[in-house]
Structure 1
Amino acid sequence: MNEAVVRALDANLEVSIERLKPQIAEQRRMQALSAFDPRLDVSTVVESLERPQNTRDFFATGRAVEIMSEDNVRIEGSLGGLLPTGTRYNVTIRSYQLKNTLNREALARFYPEYTSSTTFTVSQPLLRGAGLKANMAETRIAEMELRGAEQGLRGRVDQIATSVLDAYIESLYARELVRVITDRIALAEQLRVENDKRLRQGLMAPIDVMQAESTKAAAEIELIRAQSFLVETENRLRELIFSDFVAAVDTDFDLVDRLGVVALNESLPALRNLALEHNAEYQVALQRVEAEKLRVRHARNQFLPRLDLQASVGLNGLGGDIGTSFSDYGERTQPDFTVGFVGSLPITFTAERARLREMLFRLREAETEVRRTTNRLYAQVHTAHTRVSSAMLRAASSARAVAAAEASLDAEQKRLANGLTTSFNVLRLQDELAQARVNQLEAVAEGQKALAILWGVTGVLFERYQINLVEAPGAARRS
């Protein structure tokens, strides 16, 4: 069973699809975290301008120039980003090479002129968007979605494993059913041969031989049905554990496990608690509630007015080359600085109000889904527990029935050998024994299947069956 489960999880296409979801969720988490990555921007602009001098330019320069021409190279670089506290920072360095009509003249200090500046700017939200909770909300939501995707994968794995165990147990039952019916045919044939001998000895009527032959023919019909059922169950197993059914259609399984005794010691309340603790579907529902709570908290934060503290400090210099312009920073008595507040307040809050209502509805939906999942989980646990308990009682009763039928058949066969009963009575007891064995098989198989479903629902299937998710050795051989 364990090997079949491992093979199925390795080859099943549904599991392969489900495995991609945590990887997709992880990339969404990385995208959310990337909001705090620093960014480097660089620009270089070469410009050539010609424009007539206006009155303002004349009074600003004190020089009369008919056409003002400029050939400039502007280089800017900035490094900035966002911190989890909401703080935005930016360091900008500028260096300009300026050639124009005025600095070409002999009276100009430098030709060309190089101006450089370095500015550090910081902006800190004080209300909206302030703090770790507001700025880490998307990242935390992405982390919860990742955990939800991982739980979803585990839930799908539990479902596939349960289906594999169900198909495996069904195949075991079908094989045992074929064996029981084959034994029934052998008993009928043995009785027919013995009756034929007694007929030739004049100790038995021809009707007794015909009854044995008729019983054997009826059992052979049941054998054909059982063999067809066996093919169906093994095809279901092939579909689950092979990615290419056509290539595996001729695979001959060697099912080494056997139908064992059904045993369940846990009480129903304990099983319900176990399901709430380990069931993947329930855990996914809980993760969604937590994610929606974060979205509601973030939506409430957007109702706050925007009030940001902004400050900057910088230095500038002038020189005949780039190096001189930067070294000219030391000639300043103090750096340039600015500080102030920037505020923003929506008049109607229409978008924010609609967003918050949407998040509240989604939270209510998620909480309702938790309750629905809990009810469905309890119902599944209760149903599986009832089926296991019923199967245990049926298996115990059918075992006693098999023992009684075997004893009755043995006694009746001895009576037939002594001429104290009829062949019809022996055939009837053979049928009763075969039916008792079939009933026992059905009870054990149903109990094992219900137990697999129960452990799958409670989320402890792999622990209870001691399945280690590593690559298993060959579970099948090519016929």
Structure 2
Amino acid sequence: MKLPQATLIAAASVCLAGLAQAETLDVSLPKAVQLALAKNFRIKVEEFSPKIAKAREVSSTGKFDPVLEASYTYSQSEQELRTLSNNLIDPVSLPGGEDPSLFARSTGQEADISIAGLTPTGLTYDIGPSLTINDNTQRDPQYTSYNTFLGFSVTQPLLKNFGTDVNLASVRVARADQAISQWQLRQQVMDVVTDTITTYTELYFSIENLGVEERSRGLSAQLVQDNEKRAEIGVMSPLDVMQAKADLAAREERVLVAEREVKNNENFLKQLVTDEISGLLDTDVEVSQPVLPDVGDINRKRDIARAFELRPDYRQLLLSIQKRQINVVFTRNQSLPQLDLTGSLGLNGIDTNFLSSVQRASGANGSNRNTAWDIGAIFSLPIPNREARGDLEVAKLQSLQALVDLKRLEQAIIVEADNAAGEIDTTRKRIEASRVAREFAQMTLDAAQARLSSGTSTTFEVLQFQRDFATAQVNELRARADFIIAVARYARLTGSTLERNRIILD
């Protein structure tokens, strides 16, 4: 069925309108925080860190895994008989040549399999059997020998590389790094939540500020119209009209700036609470007035004490100090001389066939058991050992540096928390003071406009009172926004952001 052209045009218009219509994200402040926790890319990126740290911890323990080793070697050698003694027999002609030379050939095969590894005390071990097969034409008669060996060898450091403090150092560092990664994730979540509260509040403030500027522009435009009418009937000079128009142009510029601020904050909030890429700029955000948080009386001493328990940067620094101390122990050990005790013990058997060689090695069928063992020591000491001594000095200084840095952070936490608490008190008082100032500014403007209508005031005074009223409105909005932001900042500085917003990390 063929549709009328008008119907097609109407349908196309509806489709285009639907495509052009932007998606609207209507969120309250608590919902914005929930969206940020679920969709923020900064949190998603940081969530990989604990998993990576866990994998590195597993990797650090891998050096204690036993290693299965197997090898096979085949060898062959040939020697011209003219260079050997005359008692060699069974010469074989070399291929090629009319006057072949005589030579003797010997072949060998060697196969072994073993399990080797390292223990936390520093002991290394190697356990397993080996088999060597030799064919020799230089003996009379020609024979094949089988050499079977079963044994183990160990090396135990007594000074350098001895003990669990050294050999488990990398494992303990990896565990500390994993704990640090958990605190880093907590820090990132706290930062994102704080940024979301701040940006949401700033967006609401910028929207309200835009409304104030638009109303102020409206008052200025109305004053221009009133002055033009008064000038037409001769009760006002053209200068007053020009003055009002100049002020209107200035307020128009303030509206443009306020509009840009709204758009910027809207983009910042979308970046925090969405994971959109292509459709990010096509999404509009609608926010509601954030509720003033109920703070009550602030207990600075209690909150500062909790900050030492909950602030991620403080906990990370404590773990970093732990890593420094592990490094001091490790480098101190590495500065010692190397003194290793070595030893091996095994059973071997040699015969003309494999089974007989195994029986000789094991002492089966009444054969004598052939044992082989050795014990020894290895000593090594660089003179004057400057590298190890320098590394130890660096490790000690870095550990002391971290302790001083801890004191610096403790002092900073106390100052930051106290200042943030003071900011809450100040902004709470500013809310009431700015409200009173706004009410008086409203009454003053109303009185000035009434006097202007009666001819007892001037355009300059009315414009000034309009600006004062707009400033008072903005100051009240700013005080409310600053109070919400101050509470969020105080929670972050005392490490209680998650608890205050009832957020539990897995």
Does the pair score TM above 0.5?
Answer: yes
CA distance 1:192–1:278, shift in 2 (3 Å): same
CA distance 1:426–1:49, shift in 2 (3 Å): closer
Aligned to 1:270: 302
Aligned to 1:326: 358
Q: CA deviation at 1:129?
A: 2.0
Aligned to 1:4: 32
Aligned to 2:396: 360
Q: CA deviation at 1:281?
A: 1.8
Deviates more, 1:126-135 or 1:183-192: 183-192
Aligned to 1:238: 270
Query: Which whole-Å CA distance do the structure 2 matches of 1:19 and 1:179 have between them?
Result: 40
CA contact (8 A) 1:263 1:392 kept: no
RMSD between aligned alpha carbons? 4.3
Query: Match of 1:112, SS?
Result: strand
CA distance 1:306–1:341, shift in 2 (3 Å): farther
Query: Which whole-Å CA distance do the structure 2 matches of 1:249 and 1:79 have between them?
Result: 61
Deviates more, 1:329-338 or 1:158-167: 329-338
Aligned to 1:377: 413
Aligned to 2:8: none
Query: Which whole-Å CA distance do the structure 2 matches of 1:227 and 1:377 have between them?
Result: 38
2:168 is the counterpart of 1:132: no
Query: Which whole-Å CA distance do the structure 1 matches of 2:81 and 2:34 have between them?
Result: 83
Q: Aligned residue pairs: how many?
A: 453
Aligned to 1:475: none
2:87 is the counterpart of 1:64: yes
CA distance 1:379–1:51, shift in 2 (3 Å): farther
Query: Match of 1:248, SS?
Result: coil
Query: Which whole-Å CA distance do the structure 1 matches of 2:152 and 2:289 have between them?
Result: 72
Query: Match of 2:166, SS?
Result: helix
Q: CA deviation at 1:117?
A: 0.9
CA contact (8 A) 2:344 2:375 kept: no
1:46 aligned to 45, 66, 74, which one? 74
Tell me the TM-score normalised to structure 1 length.
Answer: 0.78
Tell which has more relative contact order, 1 or 2 (C-alpha 8 A, sep 6+): 1
In the alignment, residue 342 of structure 1 is paired with which amino acid? A
Query: Which whole-Å CA distance do the structure 1 matches of 2:393 and 2:462 have between them?
Result: 78
CA distance 1:116–1:180, shift in 2 (3 Å): same
**Unaligned 5+ residue runs, structure 1?**
471-479
Deviates more, 1:430-439 or 1:274-283: 430-439
CA contact (8 A) 1:262 1:444 kept: no
Query: Which whole-Å CA distance do the structure 2 matches of 1:76 and 1:445 have between them?
Result: 77
1:348 aligned to 384, 393, 396, which one? 384
Q: CA deviation at 1:388?
A: 1.7
Q: CA deviation at 1:23?
A: 4.3
Deviates more, 1:442-451 or 1:335-344: 335-344
CA contact (8 A) 2:109 2:133 kept: yes
1:442 aligned to 478, 483, 489, which one? 478
Deviates more, 1:445-454 or 1:172-181: 172-181
Q: CA deviation at 1:20?
A: 4.5
**Unaligned 5+ residue runs, structure 2?**
1-28, 90-102
Q: CA deviation at 1:12?
A: 4.9
Deviates more, 1:217-226 or 1:374-383: 217-226
Query: Which whole-Å CA distance do the structure 2 matches of 1:423 and 1:303 have between them?
Result: 88
In the alignment, residue 283 of structure 1 is paired with which amino acid? R
Q: CA deviation at 1:13?
A: 5.0
Provide, for residues 302-361 of structure 1, a one-character-per-residue CA deviation record: whole Å limited to 9, x for no partner: 233333333322112244543443233224555625353414141422222112112122
CA contact (8 A) 2:204 2:288 kept: no
CA distance 1:221–1:351, shift in 2 (3 Å): closer
Q: State the identity as a percent.
A: 25
CA distance 1:28–1:170, shift in 2 (3 Å): same
Query: Which whole-Å CA distance do the structure 2 matches of 1:5 and 1:397 have between them?
Result: 30
Q: CA deviation at 1:43?
A: 0.9
